[in-house]
A = this chain, B = another copy of it.
Amino acid sequence: MKALGTQLAVELFDCDENLLNDNNLLERSLIEAATNAGATVVDSVFHQFNPYGISGAVIIAESHVAIHTWPEYRYAALDIFTCGNEADPDTIAGEVKAVLRAERMEVSRILRGVTVGEQERTYAQTPT
C-alpha cells in the first residue's frame, strides 16, 4: 500500500533520566539522527520545562521529528514523520533509543496520505 508518508509513534521506556533533561543533547541528537537517516534538516525548536521535561521538534524536508520527555518516569515519546524514500524513520528511532539508553522501545506505525493522488502521485513530487 502506497502512502505519502510514514509516521512512527515511538515509546522509549526506562531511559537515562539525566539525558532526558538535557536540552542541548536532545536537540543535537535528533538533528544528528535525522541527518544520519538521510533526512535534510530545515529548522528546530526545543523548550525545557520547569522543573523538568523537554519538548522539541525538528522540521526536516521530509516532515518532522519531535520528542517529549518525562525524566521523572524515565520515559520519552518520540514522533517521527517522513515522506518519500530518502529518510528512513526506523534509523532515527534506533539511534535516539541508543542515545537515551532506553531499555525498551515500542513502535506504532501509521501510513499517512494513503488515498491521496493515487493516479498521479510520484515520490519525486513530495516536498524537498
Per the bound structure, the CA–CA distance linking A11 and B3 in Å amounts to 12
Give per-residue flags for A70-109: 1 if the beta carbon is below 8 A from chain B beta carbons, else 0: 1011010101010100000000000000000000000010
A11→B75 contact, CB < 8 A: no
A59→B73 contact, CB < 8 A: no
Does A1 count as interface, using CB distance less than 8 angstroms?
Answer: no
Per the bound structure, the CA–CA distance linking A55 and B105 in Å amounts to 27
Copies in the complex: 2
The answer to whether A70 and B127 touch (CB under 8 A), given A42-B47, A55-B63, A77-B81, is yes
The answer to whether A68 and B117 touch (CB under 8 A), given A57-B59, A81-B79, is no
Contact of A43 among B47, B63, B112, B126 (CB under 8 A): B47
A73→B13 contact, CB < 8 A: no
Contacts of A11 in B (CB 8 A): 112-113
Contacts of A19 in B (CB 8 A): none
Listed in ascending order, the chain A residues whose CB lies under 8 Å from chain B are 4-5, 7, 9, 11, 13, 42-47, 49, 52-53, 55-57, 59-61, 63-64, 66, 68, 70, 72-73, 75, 77, 79, 81, 83, 108, 110, 112-113, 115-117, 121, 125-128
